[in-house]
Structure 1
């Protein structure tokens, strides 16, 4: 069974999710991205978001540990 992690949504990701955070199960960032792609509103965000795991930038192959905090960060515009 994949570990349970706290997923925190920021900016546009939070608006798309309709919540600030939730607990989900996934073994890697790639698996978590797939879970989010299956959710209405989050599908587009999941395709372009960056992920931080316990405050560190994480790639698709990053393994998730039980109790980790994963931040979902959509692209930010500005200048």
Structure 2
């Protein structure tokens, strides 16, 4: 696809088991588009619906645009990810 960046998607924990591999290259423009592509796959549909997506190590919303060469990590909740409507917090007191 012209104009759509190629990215590397890395799968962790249950997402890796469901995908059947640790990583793959895809051409998508946003995290939302990536989520749609992955949830269209039966084996990944449930996991990617609740997974967090990190772009180059930072949590990203579905509206986040992707640059060529970006590395996107797919983290199921039990591997450090959270449902899309939950906010991740690190450190500090409870």
TM-score, length of structure 1 as denominator length = 0.93
From 18, 23, 26, the equivalent of 1:24 is 26
Say which one has the larger Rg. 2
Runs of 4 or more above 3 Å deviation: none
Number of residue pairs aligned between Structure 1 and Structure 2 = 77
Q: Tell me, which stretches of 5 or more residues in structure 1 are unaligned?
A: none
Q: Tell me, which stretches of 5 or more residues in structure 2 are unaligned?
A: 80-94
Pick 1 or 2: higher relative contact order, CA cutoff 8 A, min separation 6: 1
How far residue 44 of structure 1 moved from its aligned partner, in angstroms, is 0.8
Higher strand share: 1
* Cα distance in structure 2, aligned partners of 1:36 and 1:3: 16
Give the superposed CA RMSD: 1.1
* Cα distance in structure 2, aligned partners of 1:60 and 1:22: 19
